[in-house]
């Protein structure tokens, strides 16, 4: 594979998230798999992405769609085999596409061999690898803390002793099937460093780190008190782990560590990106930002300032497998996203959402740093809000009344009706029949389609010298309009106001997200311009 700037690909890559279960099904069981990804690499090449990140594909009871990992060194039979994963990595490389795997260090599956041993025998050494704790109250029948889990709900489950009596409790920040690991234990640290090497040795170019800020817990188990240090979010000890991981990654050429770090304080977020820690982290501030010029501009400034301070590249993320798809978000009256403020079922104007999503694509693909594309966003897919409760699989639904299944629906590839070429049978989650206009086949060659917009934008980004490197400057623009220059000759203008606005002086139009009205940029649109020198 040729790389013009070895050693820094992750700084300005376009990284496509593959959700293996929903990408393409090769064996007709309704669930996507590795052979499905291999068969569809052509789509990713045509899109022009630099790398793919696969959500977990390891053996798992699937209590949390694979984020409950039973064995980090193998592949779940539903997805294929290790040999198939290796073949995918090699074939992607041959197509010029790097690969990133998803590692989940905060917890394992309750079916992981360590936890099974720990549960079977309270004296087993594996007990120390988790958070077993006696309960409170006279008979120990109250949980050790009242901590609320990351999905909502409680965080402790009581065990039963071998003699049948009630035993200790164990901690799980997510579901009971995802016991938290004890990162104070050297065996846990050694194990994960070895897992990193396992995948780096198989040629993967990066690691996405799940729940990266949650690993350490305050041993005193204090309550969560507003304004005080949180007992399990962002404890300082975590940085030592990522320094060690960085050292592991540097034993290989061009490997990147990318953290899932949800953090309201941008300075604390940036701590994860210091030069000896992670290479990049997902920008959820941007993802959750309202469709509003002033707020968006403030978010971009905040992001660039925080990353500049630590010399890390920013990332631009609009969607992923956990959040409401942005076509839907941007079509609502409230365009922000947060797990706490559930907007499910509130009115959506999909036409408006799509129009804004097109503009957002040009925004996210022209800001300095790396851009993430979640599978299906290049097709303009919206959230499926009509999944019957009995078909929902997300464990968050029972705890928080919000299901992430709606953004995880299998991709529509071709044809006029479900399963739209995804499979030969009914997919694991239902696809909206209205997606017949959003298949890859239907959009290919249609210049007005979302897919062709993404293809053109990614190709133009590659070819545009101004879009590589950190150069960025705001241009004067009216209220409700964002305009910036990248390099001497490239500009992006985004109109978030309700009126069409005059374009700034330019030499030519490179790419508009919607039809220009002469020299006017309509509302909820963006355009890439070539500036005169």
Instruction: Please answer whether residues 288 and 337 qualify as being in contact, where contact means their C-beta atoms are separated by less than 8 angstroms.
Output: yes
How far the first Cα of the chain sits from its last, in Å, is: 34
Q: Which of residues 211 and 514 has its CB atom nearest to ligand NOJ in the complex?
A: 211
* Residue 183 in the binding site for ligand NOJ (CB under 6 A): no
* Active-site annotation holder among 126, 210, 234, 377: 210
Tokens 């977020």 belong to residue = 269
Closest to ligand NOJ by CB, 209 or 453: 209
Secondary structure of residue 112 in the 3-state scheme: coil
71-79 contacts at long range (C-beta below 8 A, 24 or more positions apart): 71/112, 71/113, 72/103, 72/195, 72/198, 73/195, 73/198, 75/34, 78/21, 78/29, 78/31, 78/33, 79/20, 79/21, 79/31, 79/32, 79/33, 79/34
Collapse the DSSP code of 520 into the 3-class scheme (helix H, G, I; strand E, B; otherwise coil) and give the result.
strand
Q: Kindly name the residue from 102, 260, 285, 383 that is annotated as catalytic.
A: 260
Of residues 57 and 420, the one with the C-beta less far from ligand NOJ: 57
- The interface mask with ligand NOJ, positions 129-158, x = CB under 6 A, is ------------------------------
| Interface pick for ligand NOJ out of 25, 35, 50, 64 (rule CB under 6 A) | 64
Under the binding rule (CB under 6 A), the answer on residue 67 touching ligand NOJ is: yes
Write b or e for each residue in 124-161: b if 16 or more Cβ atoms lie within 10 A of its Cβ, otherwise e: eebbebbbbbebeeeebeebbbebebbbebebbeeeee
- Partnered with residue 508 across adjacent β-strands are 530
Report if residue 104 touches ligand NOJ, rule: CB under 6 A: yes
Q: By the 8 A CB rule, do 19 and 55 touch?
A: yes
Q: Output 321 or 356, the one with its CB closest to ligand NOJ.
A: 321
CB closer to ligand NOJ, 32 vs 421 = 32
Report the residue number whose CB is nearest to ligand NOJ. Answer: 67
Q: Is 53 in the site for ligand NOJ (CB under 6 A)?
A: no
By CB under 6 A, residue 383 contacts ligand NOJ = no
CB of 145 closer than 8 Å to CB of 223? yes
211 belongs to the binding site for ligand NOJ (CB under 6 A): yes
List C-alpha distances in Å: 530 to 447, 468, 480, 486: 20, 15, 22, 10
Q: How far apart are CA 113 and CA 176, in angstroms?
A: 16
Closest approach, Cβ 481 to ligand NOJ, in A, equals: 34
Of 67 and 147, the one with the shorter C-beta distance to ligand NOJ is 67
Shortest spacing between CB 387 and ligand NOJ, in angstroms: 17
Q: Is 180 a catalytic residue?
A: no
Query: Measuring CA to CA, which residue among 283, 409, 312 is closest to residue 19?
Result: 409
Pick 63 or 521: Cβ nearer ligand NOJ:
63
Q: If you ran DSSP here, which 8-state letter would residue 351 be given?
A: H
CA 306 vs CA 123, 270, 310, 311: distances in Å: 47, 6, 7, 9
Where in 4-23 is the site for ligand NOJ (CB under 6 A)?
Answer: none
Question: CA 65 → CA 22, 57, 78, 177, 509, distances in Å?
Answer: 11, 9, 12, 11, 44
260 flagged as catalytic: yes
Residue 69 Cβ vs ligand NOJ, minimum distance, rounded to whole Å: 9
Among 180, 234, 322, 524, interactor with ligand NOJ by CB under 6 A? 322
- How many Å apart are CA 377 and CA 374, to the nearest integer? 6
- Give me the least distance between CB of 492 and ligand NOJ, in Å please: 29
Q: Which is nearer to ligand NOJ, 174 or 472 (CB)?
A: 174
Q: CA-based angle 231:233:99, to the nearest 5?
A: 150
CB of 21 to ligand NOJ, least distance (A): 12
439-458 positions binding ligand NOJ, by CB under 6 A: none
Q: Any contact of residue 210 with ligand NOJ (CB under 6 A)?
A: yes
CB of 158 to ligand NOJ, least distance (A): 22
Task: Verify binding: residue 103, ligand NOJ, rule CB under 6 A.
Answer: no
Instruction: Write down the least CB distance from residue 104 to ligand NOJ, Å.
Output: 5
Shortest distance in whole angstroms from residue 211 CB to ligand NOJ? 5
From residue 155 to residue 174, the character string flagging contacts with ligand NOJ as x (rule: CB under 6 A) and all else as - is -------------------x
Q: Output 35 or 102, the one with its CB closest to ligand NOJ.
A: 102
Q: Which of 459, 463, 474, 461 is nearest to 304 (CA)?
A: 474
- Provide the minimum distance between the beta carbon of 510 and ligand NOJ in the complex, in angstroms, as a whole number: 34
Q: How far is CA 493 from CA 25, 61, 141, 144, in A?
A: 39, 47, 60, 54
The residues that are catalytic are: 210, 260
- Applying CB under 6 A, the residues found at the interface with ligand NOJ are 64, 67, 104, 174, 210-211, 260, 321-322
């Amino acid at each position: 594979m040729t790389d013009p700037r070895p050693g820094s690909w992750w700084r300005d890559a376009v990284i496509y998230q593959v959700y293996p279960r929903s990408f393409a099904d090769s064996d007709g069981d309704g669930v996507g798999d590795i052979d499905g990804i291999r068969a569809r690499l052509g789509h990713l090449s045509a899109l022009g992405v630099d790398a793919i990140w696969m959500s977990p594909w390891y053996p798992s009871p699937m209590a949390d769609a694979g984020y409950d990992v039973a064995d980090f060194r193998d592949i779940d039979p539903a997805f294929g085999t290790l040999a198939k994963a290796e073949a995918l990595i090699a074939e992607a490389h041959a197509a010029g596409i790097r690969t990133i795997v998803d590692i989940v260090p905060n917890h394992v599956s309750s079916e992981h061999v360590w936890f099974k041993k720990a549960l079977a025998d309270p004296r087993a050494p594996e007990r120390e690898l988790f958070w077993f704790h006696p309960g409170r109250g006279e008979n120990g029948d109250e949980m050790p803390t009242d901590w609320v889990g990351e999905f909502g709900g409680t965080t402790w489950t009581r065990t039963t002793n071998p003699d049948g009596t009630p035993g200790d409790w164990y901690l799980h920040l997510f579901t009971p099937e995802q016991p938290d690991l004890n990162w104070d234990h050297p065996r846990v640290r050694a194990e994960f460093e070895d897992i990193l090497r396992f995948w780096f040795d198989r040629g993967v170019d990066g690691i996405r780190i799940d729940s990266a800020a949650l690993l350490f817990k305050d041993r005193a188990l204090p309550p969560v008190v507003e304004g005080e240090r949180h007992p399990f979010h962002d404890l300082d000890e975590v940085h030592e782990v990522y320094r060690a991981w960085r050292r592991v990654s540097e034993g290989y050429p061009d490997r990147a560590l990318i953290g899932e770090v949800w953090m309201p304080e941008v300075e604390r977020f940036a701590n994860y990106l210091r030069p000896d820690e992670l290479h990049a982290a997902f920008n959820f501030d941007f993802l959750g930002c309202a469709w509003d010029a002033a707020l968006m501009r403030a978010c971009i400034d905040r992001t660039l300032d925080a990353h500049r301070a630590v010399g890390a590249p920013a990332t631009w993320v609009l969607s992923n497998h956990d959040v409401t798809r942005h076509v839907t978000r941007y079509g609502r009256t409230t365009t922000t996203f947060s797990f706490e403020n559930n907007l499910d079922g509130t009115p959506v104007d999909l036409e408006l959402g799509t129009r804004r999503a097109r503009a957002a694509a040009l925004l996210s693909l022209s800001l300095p740093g790396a851009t993430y594309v979640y599978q299906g966003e290049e097709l303009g897919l919206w959230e499926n809000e009509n999944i019957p409760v009995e078909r929902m699989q997300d464990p968050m639904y029972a705890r928080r009344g919000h299901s992430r299944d709606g953004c995880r629906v299998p991709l529509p590839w071709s044809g006029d009706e479900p399963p739209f070429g995804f499979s030969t049978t009914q997919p694991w989650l239902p696809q909206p029949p209205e997606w017949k206009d959003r298949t890859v086949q239907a959009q290919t060659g249609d210049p007005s389609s979302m897919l062709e917009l993404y293809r053109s934008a990614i190709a133009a980004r590659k070819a545009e010298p101004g879009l590589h490197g950190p150069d960025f400057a705001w241009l004067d623009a009216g209220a409700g309009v964002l305009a910036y220059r990248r390099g001497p000759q490239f500009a992006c203008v985004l109109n978030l106001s309700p009126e069409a606005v005059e374009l700034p002086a330019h030499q030519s139009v490179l790419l508009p997200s919607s039809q220009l009205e002469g020299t006017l940029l309509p509302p909820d649109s963006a355009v890439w311009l070539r500036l005169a020198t």
